[in-house]
Amino acid sequence: MTFDVRGQPADPREPRAQARAAGPDYFAAMGIPLLRGRMFDATDRLTRDGGRQVLLISAELARRYFPNEDPIGKYLQTGWGNVGWPGVKFGGEVIGVVGDVRQRALSQDISPHMYMPYLQWPVNEYDVVIRSTTPPARVVSGARSLLRRLDPQIPMNAPRSYSDIVASSMGDRRFYLVLLGLFAAVAMTLALVGVYGVMAYGVQQRRREIGIRMALGATREGVVRMVLSDGVRMVGAGVALGVVAALSLTRLLGSLLYSVGPRDPTTFIVAPLLLVAAAVIACALPARRASRLDPVETIRAD
């Protein structure tokens, strides 16, 4: 069975298919796992007399074109030709399925990819991937020396580490998230100071009531529980309103998130709990002061 893949998806909202020429070790260097089938090997080459063309496809492409069947053994044919091999089109028999990648930025949707061995699809420009534990500067120096020995006329574009590429793709997002984090920290600080101030003022206003309660037999622990429960009720009402507001505004943050949904349940559970815990700590000092009031002196003073 042959499928014609022209790069333009049926749904214009879906990303276009990407075609790449790759060597057998490219996937190990990039950390792209083999999910099914086999990788390229030295036998996957094309000669002037012909030969079997092979492909590796990504899981996203397999999902799109082979949703309910095994793609291994199927044949994909595109309309892309190669000047170096007249009559040869980019395509071949699917021999394996590999993991998905985001080609340019983490914010972009996963694109379907197909890979052809570079021995079957020669090009005049290569991106070389080097995986090493050696410091990047030494790797680049060694790569330049090797390239000069192979052919001094071959230029090398500015090399970049993988971490630099990822960091540059996330530059804007990181800036906005850091800024948002600073605002959130300031807001949290102001909220805790406000909770403390309100509770301290409330305890001051209720000194006579607390003194009478203690004179009638209320324990220090009971006074602490009373003050803390008042503070928790107040904070709980604020947290509930905040969660409702956050749920209605999450769509504005969707483009800044990666691998986390805008309505991630863990976030909406952990964040309110942390806020309540911080508010309880802010209420603890006024509650402690209330429990130390002398009922006799408090009643006399009032």
* Strand partners for 89: 81
Along the 302 residues of the chain, how does pLDDT read in single tens digits?
334 444 444 444 555 678 888 888 889 888 899 999 999 888 887 655 556 888 999 999 999 888 888 899 988 888 777 766 667 778 888 999 999 988 766 667 788 899 998 888 877 777 888 888 888 888 888 888 888 888 888 888 878 887 787 777 777 777 877 888 898 888 888 877 887 787 777 777 777 777 777 777 777 777 777 877 877 788 788 888 887 877 777 666 665 565 566 666 777 787 778 777 877 777 777 777 777 766 656 555 55
Q: Please count the residues of the chain.
A: 302
Burial grade of 6 (CB within 10 A; 0-12, 13-18, 19 or more): exposed
* Strand partners for 116: 21
Task: State the pairing for strand pair 18-22/113-117.
Answer: parallel
Residue 265 is predicted with a pLDDT of: 72
Q: What does the alpha-carbon distance between residue 150 and residue 138 come to, in Å, rounded to a whole number? A: 18
The identity of residue 167, as a single letter, is A
Give the long-range contacts of residues 271-274, CB within 8 A, separation 24 or more.
Answer: 272/239, 272/242, 272/243
Residue 248 is predicted with a pLDDT of: 74
Residue 253 is predicted with a pLDDT of: 62
Residue 97 is predicted with a pLDDT of: 94
Give the sign of the dihedral formed by CA 98, CA 104, CA 107, CA 113: negative
Q: Return the structure tokens found at 293.
A: 């009031």
Give the sign of the dihedral formed by CA 178, CA 179, CA 181, CA 186: positive
- Residue listed under structure tokens 């904070």: 235
Residue 56 is predicted with a pLDDT of: 94
Report the half-sphere exposure of 119 (CA within 13 A, side-chain side).
16
Domain range list for the chain: 2-129, 130-161, 170-301
Residue 94 is predicted with a pLDDT of: 92
